[in-house]
Amino acid sequence: MCGVVEDADLTRLSEMAVECEVAAGTAFIEEGQAADTFFNVTAGTARLIKSLPDGRRQIIGFAGVGHFLGLAVSDIYAFGAEALGPMRLCRFSRAGLRQLLDEFPVMEQRLLAVARDELVAAQEQMLLLGRKTARERLASFLLAYPRAASCPARTEDVISLPMTRADIADYLGLTVETVSRTLTRLRTGRVIAVPSAAMILIRDRATLASIAAGEV
């Protein structure tokens, strides 16, 4: 959020925000509750959850640094959000949103861009779940996940995954066993390396992209 505001206005922006920390596993947005607050993620990752009519829950996405959460189009939140690990957030009241946009018109452009990106992501998720095989789904997920900035010396693309294999399986509509088996096959084929449960190295991005597209 701060990246689109002039340096001279950062003090005013900070006065309108409340910085808060969220412990791992804590829900900070509850589906169905009054949408009176929205958040900007400044550290950590959250899983976004939607409740199903039969009581089950579905992970519909993950939100990291820079994401806006809680910008409901109605008076209630359409999904819940839980911290995968320790998180830091900037919290803004919904009542102050109009004031924020009035004082910083560039923010409205930023929020429109966020809404556009979320629509594209939702369309891609429908394709992912509706048409792609397990192998194609996992390849698409790995390609879409941001590269870790902490390992610039490596020649491979380094992906830090704060979520569990069960979270990935839930998001992709697969079983944990299928996710683990597919990762093993990709590793055996030297497409990826898996140095730890929280890190994936993409060794052959071209092949991974071909898999995601259903070409191999």
Residue among 179, 106, 103 nearest 140 (CA): 179
Q: Matching CATH topology for 2-129 and 133-212?
A: no
Query: What pLDDT score was predicted for residue 57?
Result: 87
Low-confidence stretches of the chain (pLDDT beneath 70): 1-14, 72-73, 114-115, 118-123, 126-130, 147-156
Give the CATH architecture of domain 2-129: Sandwich (2.60)
Domain extent listing, the chain: 2-129, 133-212
pLDDT digits (tens, 9 = 90+) for 118-175: 666 666 776 666 678 999 999 999 988 876 544 444 556 899 999 999 999 999 989 9
- Residue 170 and residue 207: Cα distance in Å, rounded? 25
Query: What pLDDT score was predicted for residue 191?
Result: 96
- Residue 152 and residue 102: Cα distance in Å, rounded? 39
Query: What pLDDT score was predicted for residue 194?
Result: 94
DSSP per residue, 55-91:
S-EEEEEEE-TT-EE---SSSB-SSEEEESS-EEEEE
Residue among 152, 158, 145 nearest 61 (CA): 145
- Residue 121 and residue 64: Cα distance in Å, rounded? 14
Residue among 36, 64, 35, 33 nearest 48 (CA): 64
Q: Which residues contact residue 75 at a Cβ distance below 8 angstroms, ignoring those fewer than 6 apart?
A: 34, 35
Query: What pLDDT score was predicted for residue 65?
Result: 87
Query: What pLDDT score was predicted for residue 151?
Result: 45
Pick the CATH number of 133-212 from 1.10.10.10, 1.10.3720.10, 3.40.50.970, 2.60.40.1080: 1.10.10.10
Exposed, middle or buried by CB within 10 Å (0-12, 13-18, 19+), for 156? middle
Phi first, then psi, for residue 20 (nearest 5°) are: -145, 155
> Over the Cα atoms of the chain, what is R_g?
19
pLDDT digits (tens, 9 = 90+) for 168-179: 999 998 999 999
Q: How many CB atoms lie within 10 A of CB 140?
A: 22
